[in-house]
């Protein structure tokens, strides 16, 4: 494909899958103009740092943990849920550091994960058809015409809440939040569950004991506090779906080459918007940020190679993160051809697995859920494939929350389909709750190969 020159606006000449239908061009222009005047949410220094960490990860020296809500919500921009999300990501990262004996890069799906692709543009309830809910950046979840209208000012509202979220995250990280490293702050009540086999319980307890010992050992070294030694860093990410929002934050910065998307450290391109000649690939091929790309088993190896070539023509380290999401049933056959093609091309990528989006099912009552065991199975499948191929399994991507929701079935708590309605709070896809997320991490920890 011939490459025309890139500008922050060149995406506008391409077809955008999942494009939002705004009904008032003047209003859209005014909202985007407002957004374009506002300060950036992240800095180029942080983006460069993340890219260098991802370059290390591509060499097998770091592991990536990416996680958070499917659809972040403005109503949930409150201290409790934000702190709970940081807490679970931090605790999971400790287990993963312990298992892999390498540093873990923590990347939240937060501070901007407000736009959602939908398989159906409209939703019908009791004979009434309205536009689907496309995330708080676009319209509102309520089922009435006014709520479902695409409101351009929500772009500004989303930006503001991303800023508030990020401000709180930065303060927590600065001020002693790192204490939560220690297993005495973890909720390990699921270890008592009768559904847990004695062998698994023993295994989990061993991991907890070892993490505790390691932290105590570091503390005993004395010179510095554990929180200093294990300085906590969080990066942000979201699906770069709404290109009005993203491009208003694509900027140049003083004394650096190129453009940065300053809405987040790492945008990713979704499975539904990764068309080679589409608007999303066009915008993101021009930015300096690392870029994630979701890939299912529907992606042909040739397509994936062309995506890599288009998004990273100079094969820069730390730039491309391929997040495979094939489903437990498809990963073992679907992943090898992609890995073989990328290996043969000699291109640098970081391979991660999102075991959530290929494992969404609907219960008989029509509730969207995911089964803990299917999620584990996709992760194990991906790890086995990478091991057989000699490629580095570089990270995991989860939809999760730090709260006690009932959205996914299974895990030691034995959540069943009947439990789902107890606290089903997601605006879009089902998330692992706090205990399921921690248990998931224990479950995969023993399979992650230590660096030494
Ligand atoms: C998501 O991550 O929320 C998502 C929609 O994923 P995918 O593009 O992989 O379906
Ligand atoms: Co989702």
Model confidence pLDDT, tens digit, residues 126-176: 999 999 999 999 999 999 999 999 999 999 999 999 999 999 999 998 876
- Name the CATH code of domain 3-19+32-115+152-451 (choices 3.20.20.70, 3.90.1170.50, 3.40.50.720, 3.40.50.2030): 3.20.20.70
Residue 242: phi and psi, rounded to 5, are: -90, 105
For the ranges 230-234, 372-376, 391-395, the lowest mean pLDDT is seen at 230-234
The candidate with the shortest Cα–Cα distance to 154, out of 71, 264, 35, is 35
Which residues make Cβ contacts (< 8 Å) with residue 371, sequence separation at least 6?
Answer: 359, 361, 408, 409, 410
* DSSP category for residue 121: S
CA angle 374, 370, 113 (to 5 degrees): 120
Interval 350-363: pLDDT, tens: 999 999 999 999 99
pLDDT at 402: 95
The pLDDT tens digits of the residues spanning 1-14 come to 446 799 999 999 99
Q: Which atom of ligand 1 is nearest to the CA of 354?
A: 9
d(CA 250, CA 285): 12
Substitution candidate for ligand 1 out of 112, 284, 292, 357 with most atoms within 8 A of CB: 357
For residue 176, the model assigns a pLDDT of: 66
Average pLDDT over residues 258-279: 98
Tens digits of per-residue pLDDT, 51-65?
Answer: 999 999 999 999 999
Atom 1 of ligand 1, nearest CA residue: 70
**Amino acid 223: pLDDT:** 59
The confidence score (pLDDT) of residue 216 equals 85
Strand stretches in 314-450, DSSP E: 320-324, 350-353, 360-362, 368-370, 393-399
Let me know: does 65 contact 34? Beta carbons within 8 Å: no
Token digits of residue 403 = 């709260």
Is the entire prediction scored with pTM above 0.85? Answer: yes
Closest among 421, 375, 415 to 398, alpha carbons compared: 375
For ligand 1, the distance from its centroid to the CA atom of residue 357, given in whole angstroms, is 6
Give the residue, out of 119, 133, 271, 360, with the most ligand 1 atoms within 8 A of its beta carbon, to mutate for a pocket test.
271
* Percent of the chain as helix, strand, coil, to the nearest 5: 45, 15, 40
pLDDT of residue 232: 79
Q: Which of 109, 116, 272 has the most ligand 1 atoms within 8 A of CB, as the residue to mutate?
A: 272
Quote the pLDDT of residue 231. Answer: 67
Q: Which residues of 424-438 are buried (b: 16+ CB within 10 A; e: fewer)?
A: ebbbbbbbbbbbbbb
Residue 184 CA to ligand 2 center (angstroms) comes to: 31
């Amino acid at each position: 494909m011939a490459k025309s020159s890139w500008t922050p606006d060149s995406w506008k000449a391409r077809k955008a899958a999942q494009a939002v239908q705004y009904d008032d061009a003047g209003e859209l222009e005014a909202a985007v103009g407002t957004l374009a005047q506002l300060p950036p949410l992240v800095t180029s220094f942080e983006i460069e740092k993340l890219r260098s960490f991802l370059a290390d990860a591509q060499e097998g020296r770091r592991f990536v943990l990416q996680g958070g809500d499917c659809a972040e919500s403005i109503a949930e921009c409150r201290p409790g849920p934000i702190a709970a999300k940081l807490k679970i990501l931090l605790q999971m990262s400790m287990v993963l550091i312990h298992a892999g004996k390498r540093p873990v890069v923590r990347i939240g799906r937060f501070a901007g994960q407000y736009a959602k692709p939908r398989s159906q543009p409209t939703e019908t309830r009791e004979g009434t058809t309205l536009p689907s809910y496309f995330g708080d950046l676009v319209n509102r979840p309520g089922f009435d015409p006014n709520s479902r209208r695409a409101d351009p000012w929500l772009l500004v509202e989303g930006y503001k809440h991303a800023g508030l979220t990020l401000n709180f995250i930065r303060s927590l990280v600065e001020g002693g939040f790192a204490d939560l490293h220690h297993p005495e702050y973890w909720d390990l009540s699921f270890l008592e569950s009768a559904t847990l086999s004695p062998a698994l319980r023993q295994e989990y307890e061993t991991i907890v004991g070892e993490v505790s010992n390691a932290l105590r050992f570091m503390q005993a070294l004395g010179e510095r506090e554990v929180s200093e030694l294990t300085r906590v860093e969080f990066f942000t990410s979201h699906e770069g779906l709404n290109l009005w929002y993203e491009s208003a934050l694509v900027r140049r910065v003083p004394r650096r080459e190129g453009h940065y998307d300053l809405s987040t450290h790492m945008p990713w391109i979704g499975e539904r918007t990764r068309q080679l000649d589409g608007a999303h690939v066009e915008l993101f091929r021009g930015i300096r940020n690392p870029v994630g790309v979701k890939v299912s088993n529907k992606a042909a190896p040739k397509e994936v190679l062309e995506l890599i070539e288009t998004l990273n023509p100079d094969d820069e380290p730390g730039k491309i993160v391929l997040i495979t999401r094939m489903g437990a049933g498809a990963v073992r056959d679907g992943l090898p051809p992609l890995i073989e093609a990328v290996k043969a091309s000699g291109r640098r990528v970081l391979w991660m697995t999102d075991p959530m989006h290929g494992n969404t099912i609907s219960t008989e009552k029509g509730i969207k859920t995911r089964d803990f065991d299917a999620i584990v199975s996709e992760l194990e499948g991906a790890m086995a494939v990478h091991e057989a191929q000699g490629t580095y399994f570089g990270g995991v991507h989860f939809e999760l929350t730090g709260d006690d929701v009932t959205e996914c079935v299974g895990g030691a708590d034995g959540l069943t389909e009947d439990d789902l309605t107890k606290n089903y709070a997601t605006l879009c896809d089902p998330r692992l709750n706090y205990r399921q997320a921690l248990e998931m991490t224990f479950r995969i920890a023993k399979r992650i190969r230590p660096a030494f």
